[in-house]
């Protein structure tokens, strides 16, 4: 396993962990706190990075970027649904 894959994976896990309270707070308060533009562009960017990591055989980074992109997409949906 390439060390860069492990570093990217570890940093992205921390980024995802930081989003969990934001998502939970949005569901609890029924409020979309993140703007549509921010959440959509970040989600799409994470999915693009995931594909790039897959082509480099960074399988851990690929998997966690799919997860992080999905967390950002949840924030996008919260903003659409809750306003």
Q: pLDDT (tens digit, 0 to 9) for every residue of the chain, 83 residues total?
A: 799 999 999 999 999 999 999 999 999 999 888 999 999 999 999 999 999 999 999 999 999 999 999 999 999 999 999 97
pLDDT at position 38: 95
pLDDT at position 83: 79
User: Cα dist. 43→3, 5, 15, 29, 54 in Å?
Assistant: 25, 20, 13, 22, 17
Print the domain residue range for 52: 3-82
pLDDT at position 1: 73
Please give the tally of structural domains in the chain: 1
CATH of the domain at 64: 1.20.1280
pLDDT at position 10: 95
């Amino acid at each position: 396993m390439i060390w860069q894959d492990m570093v990217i994976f570890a940093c992205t896990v921390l980024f995802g962990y930081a989003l969990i309270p934001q998502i939970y707070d949005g569901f609890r308060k029924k409020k979309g706190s993140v703007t549509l533009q921010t959440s959509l562009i970040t989600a799409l960017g994470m999915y693009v990075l995931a594909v790039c990591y897959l082509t480099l055989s960074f399988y851990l980074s690929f998997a966690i970027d799919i997860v992080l992109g999905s967390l950002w997409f949840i924030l996008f949906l919260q903003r659409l649904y809750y306003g």
